[in-house]
A and B are shown apart, each in its own frame.
Chain A
Amino acid sequence: MEYEEFVNERLASLLRYAVMLTGDVHTAQDVVQETMIRVHLNWRRVARADSPERYVRRMLTNQYLDWRRGSWLRRVLLHADPPHATPVLYDHAQAAADRDEVWCWLARLPRQQRAALVLRYYEGLPDVEIADVLGCAVGTVRAYISRALATLRTELVGVC
């Protein structure tokens, strides 16, 4: 498979995945950008993987999990333009606002937990594949998810 072909097929869905992971369009673009530059530069290695798609998803997930744990310098380089908030237009109904408390709460979860939620409830992956993407045991995946759900259930009210 060629890089071009891969990008044609997968870039849009990787970007969607990144938006769900990060909850923020700008961060998502940065994460995808950084990941895909490395994919571009190392395409031959990526293409050798059993499933390039899964390989890249794992790269992207790691990029997200490590995001901003790196040096200040790297952060500055990656954000040439200061991120400005993209308004999410759900204020037309109180009901919608209520529901977006979920979104708001997602942002407060530890990253591994959020990633596990996105992989199960957005991407619809079985726990075995989630464990593969996150590089942990299946039991750990289930622990992440049950802890995250417990947090959401108990604290969803009135925080955002």
Chain B
Amino acid sequence: MIEEELRAAFARHEELVPDAGPLRRTIERLAVRRRRRRLVVRATGAALAVLTIVALPSLGRDLVGARPPAPVGDTPGPVGQLRPGPLDFLVLGLDRAGDTDHARADTIIVAHVPASRDRVYLIAIPRDVGVQIPPYAKSGYPGGLEKINAAYFFGSSGRAANVAGGVELTALALRDLTGLRFDGAAVVEFEALRRVTDAVGGVRMCLDREIVSVHTQRVFRVGCQRLDGAQALDLIRQRRGLPRGDLDRLGTAQDYLAALAHEFAGLGAGDLFEALGAAGGGLTVDTRGVPLPELVFQLRGAAGRVIGVSLMTDLRSSTRGGVSFLQPDPALSHGLFDAVRRDALGAWLAAHPELVRDGQR
């Protein structure tokens, strides 16, 4: 019987079937890679990336806390109330390791999207820059000359302690230095970044010098490498032992955000929101009432190109009231933020190439 011969032939060849273990690992590795690659095609994802990171909204008035955004489809709705022209967002990174009540925003980044909406500039503000923090009634803070990273603390502590206060006071404190009013803000905790980084399959970072973690003794070698969430977090916490201490740490954090945006840019909207969801309560975004999908749609072209800008050259040190502050070169910082406000940052940076962080990807 031919049927019996067929059954026998199939049974006989069962021993050809290899072990599925290695195949399974290959599938998972390639799936992560392909997910990443989709980004290039889906500019929407890219925009989201930027958004997400930057997340936007302004001055903290309506900060909606602790909720990951709801998943949306790939096609955002019609254009909303996002204002035309250049956009500026405030991004704060909080490292709460060990202390949940007295967080300082040690990582302060201004994300600037020019009117052309084809790129994002990440301008890092060193935490030791001295600023005049205005009085803030909501928290009972009387105002004073402080390091910029204290603004978050004074705004978020006191009677009505909350994240929104920290963001708002930081934005107000930055006004003298930058002259900017923000279109949105995002506050992200380092622990959440670990989960988000793992959710996107890690980030690729390039180092021009070896860094040894003082916390874990992990060695980060020179050159480009892919880091998972725990490794990336370890890396962006390192400042001791680096030539310029916290300034170098900030630079690493800036490169990390750019690397994360790059990963985001490869995700479709669904995957992106899923990755953001991994942040759980550790990511707080204020988009000033603009629906997130709409924001993403508007910024979809921008996330593909993230440019790090450093204010860290020509910093001066000054001591006032027994506390030492850093002061950026006034001419330089004035020129930089004036260019941001005039939507002419690209041209201005062309004349100041030393402020552009390089070496990424």
Contacts and interface: CB of A to CB of B under 8 A. Distances in A.
Interface of A: 7, 11-12, 15-16, 19-20, 23, 25, 28-29, 32-33, 36-37, 40-41, 86, 88, 90, 99-100, 102-103, 106, 117-118, 121-122, 149, 152-153, 156
B17 A15 contact: yes
A152 B9 contact: no
A99 B30 contact: no
Contact of B27 (A33, A88, A156): A33
A15 B26 contact: no
Contact of A122 (B7, B16, B20): B7
A100 B5 CA distance: 9
A121 B23 contact: no
Nearest to A90: B12
B11 to A, nearest CB: 8
B99 interface: no
Nearest to B30: A37
B17 A149 contact: no
Given A11-B23, A41-B35, A121-B3, A33 B10 contact: no
B14 interface: yes
A16 B27 contact: no
Contact of B31 (A12, A28, A40): A40
Contacts of B20: 11-12, 15
6 contacts: A19-B14, A20-B13, A25-B18, A102-B8, A103-B9, A103-B12
Contacts of A20: 10, 13
Given A33-B27, A37-B30, A25 B16 contact: yes
Given A37-B34, A117-B6, A152-B2, A15 B23 contact: yes
B28 interface: yes
B215 interface: no
Contacts of A16: 14, 17
Contacts of B6: 102, 117, 121, 152
A122 B27 contact: no
Contact of A7 (B3, B5, B10, B24): B24
Contacts of A7: 24
B18 A41 contact: no
Interface string B18-61: 10100110111011001100000000000000000000000000
Given A11-B20, A19-B17, A99-B9, A41 B31 contact: yes
Contact of B18 (A29, A33, A122): A29
A69 B30 CA distance: 22
Nearest to A103: B9
Contacts of B16: 19, 25, 86, 88
Nearest to B29: A37
A158 B18 CA distance: 30
A25 B17 contact: yes
Interface string B136-164: 00000000000000000000000000000
Contacts of A156: 2
A86 B18 CA distance: 11
B13 A33 contact: no
A121 B34 contact: no
Nearest to A24: B16
A88 B9 CA distance: 12
B5 A102 contact: yes
Contact of B23 (A33, A86, A103): A33
B85 to A, nearest CB: 37
Given A20-B13, A149-B3, A11 B24 contact: yes
Contacts of A37: 27, 30-31, 34
A99 B4 CA distance: 11
B173 to A, nearest CB: 44
Contacts of B35: 41
